Amino acid sequence: MAVLKLSTPGVFVQEISTLPPSVAEVETAIPAFIGYTEKAERFAPGDLTMIPNKVTSVAEFEQFYGKAAEETDDSIFITVTEAADGKMSATLAFKETDPTNPNNLKDRSKFNLYYSIKHFYDNGGGVCFVVSVGDYKAAGAPVAAKLTDGLKAIEDIDEVTLLVVPEASKIDDPAATYPVQPAPPAPPVAPVPPAGYNLVVQAMIKQASDPKLRDRFALIDPFYVSPKSSKDPNGDIDTDVKWIRDATMTVLENRYAAAYYPNLVTAYAYNYLLDKVTVKEGPASVKGKKIKDLEGSALYNTIVSALGKLWVVLPPSPAMAGLYTRVDNTKGVWKSPANESVLATLGPNLAISNREQENLNVDPNSGKSINVIRTFPGFGTLVWGARTLNGNDNEWKYISVRRFFNMVEESVKKSCQWAVFEPNTIDTWVKVQSMIENYLFLKWREGALAGVKPEQAFYVKVGLGTTMTSLDILEGRMNVEIGMAVARPAEFIVLKFTQLLQQS
């Protein structure tokens, strides 16, 4: 309390502050999307390449960054067959499954950031940051060095709490061999993950776990999802999972990241332009013709309908970023982002059984848990995992616990700024302690902290002989110790039944 300087007789007014400062809670789900775009410009002239830019809707993204990449005629193989009665039917296949040329490695566009932004917003997303690392028209394919540069650009943006790089699985690397699918029934040849994938994944986790930051969480996608085949109806997921685990880091860093598997078949169609797509095989009357030239015919309608059902397959991280936002806004960051529906999704591109999920959810060797997205009859597509990559650690096993601590640490740190250079005495200690206790009491009342009474849910300690020594005070240190019993998810619900004998 300030001391009034009284020099002249009279009546003086002095206001006394009795209430402690309050903790202003930080946002918990603001992702940074790193990837390639059609353009990167803010109201001419203004190049946004490698510059973090806040976006609040798909329309705003389109304004700054354009739309999806146009699929080339080379990536789709359309075969028209004419029946005896003259009716024509069409078969569409992506070029990677072209039965006439099994060694053709051309695929759909490797740039998926536009679709990823749509999936984020369709799943409940709000504010996000975007870093365009370049023009996809000139790039050819994602490059690891560009994506890691984009991560560095977002490093100093304090608002960011989630890291999403959906094009990490599309990296073009000289060491990679992409999947070749020979004619059935031979199984597809699995690709070798490029070093660039590992580089980007590790850069994400390093940034999230950086001691200077520790205010963000990395969402890791699979490099590849093995397709089903006649010999392996469930796909060979062991290699897929191994690549994810091999790319990630050690116990200390992995608590700041979570991995999801498999990829998702979305409700979006690829951006094919009808005046650029041709019929590759068929009767002389249609072979080589642009689809646009067939307008008005039944065949045209058939092909257009089929093109609209070539669904975009996306990695899970964009949808998960939106789902995190949705859960945080409706239930709270302490609620696990699991047993929640994935929207704008037809389902995962690979069905995972209970038996297959066992080794993904709990891995006794590496301890690196991978969360599975599954479809359940009557419930739809659900996220069926709630663990960080540090899945065998009882302290930091669950995503909700890690993210809740991130939120509290960042909120309290910023709210204590006023105490810097204040006298390191009991007056300041009481204000700091009261401020933090009031905040944690509200979190306990909302259900974030476990305990019948507040003292069972949290504690805050600060003071000489408690958290500080005389030397600490002499050297200008004020140590505050905070303990919290964060509510943890009921991951395994065991119902125990017993049979009673007849009593009468």
Parallel, antiparallel, or unpaired: how do β-strands 370-376 and 257-261 relate?
A: parallel
pLDDT at residue 239, rounded to an integer: 87
Distance CA 470, CA 242 (A): 52
Parallel, antiparallel, or unpaired: how do β-strands 257-261 and 217-220 relate?
A: parallel
- The more confidently predicted of residues 171 and 344 is 344
- The more confidently predicted of residues 5 and 477 is 477
pLDDT at residue 44, rounded to an integer: 63
Half-sphere exposure of residue 408: CA atoms within 13 angstroms, side-chain side: 29
The structure tokens listed for 158 are: 């304090």
Residue 182 has pLDDT above 50, yes or no: no
Stretch 176-185: mean pLDDT: 41
pLDDT at residue 235, rounded to an integer: 65
Report pLDDT digits (tens) over 185-204. 444 555 566 789 999 999 99
Q: Average pLDDT, whole number, for the chain?
A: 89
The structure tokens listed for 294 are: 């067939």
3-state secondary structure 204-234: HHHHHHCCCCCCCEEEECCCCCCCCCCCCCC
Report pLDDT digits (tens) over 228-246. 666 666 667 888 999 999 9
The pTM assigned to this predicted structure is 0.90
| CA 29-156-389 angle, 5° bins | 50
> Residue 10, Cβ neighbours under 10 Å: how many?
6
Residue 165 has pLDDT above 80, yes or no: yes
pLDDT at residue 502, rounded to an integer: 86
- The more confidently predicted of residues 16 and 233 is 16
Residue 175 has pLDDT above 70, yes or no: no
Stretch 2-9: mean pLDDT: 80
- What stretches of 160-294 show up as alpha helix (H) in DSSP? 195-209, 237-247, 251-254
pLDDT at residue 173, rounded to an integer: 57
pLDDT at residue 183, rounded to an integer: 41
Q: Peptide bond before 318: cis, by omega within 30 degrees of 0?
A: no
Distance CA 274, CA 160 (A): 40
Report pLDDT digits (tens) over 93-134. 876 554 444 433 345 778 999 999 999 999 999 999 999 999
pLDDT at residue 107, rounded to an integer: 57
Cβ pair 73, 278 in contact under 8 A: yes
H or E segment at 328? helix 317-330
Cβ pair 389, 208 in contact under 8 A: no
Stretch 390-410: mean pLDDT: 95
- The more confidently predicted of residues 318 and 105 is 318
* Residue boundaries of the structural domains of the chain: 31-71+108-272+310-402, 420-504
pLDDT at residue 192, rounded to an integer: 62
- Assigned architecture for domain 31-71+108-272+310-402: 3-Layer(aba) Sandwich (3.40)
- The more confidently predicted of residues 184 and 429 is 429
3-state secondary structure 309-325: CCEEEECCHHHHHHHHH
Residue 400 has pLDDT above 80, yes or no: yes
pLDDT at residue 184, rounded to an integer: 42
pLDDT at residue 52, rounded to an integer: 96
- The more confidently predicted of residues 304 and 105 is 304
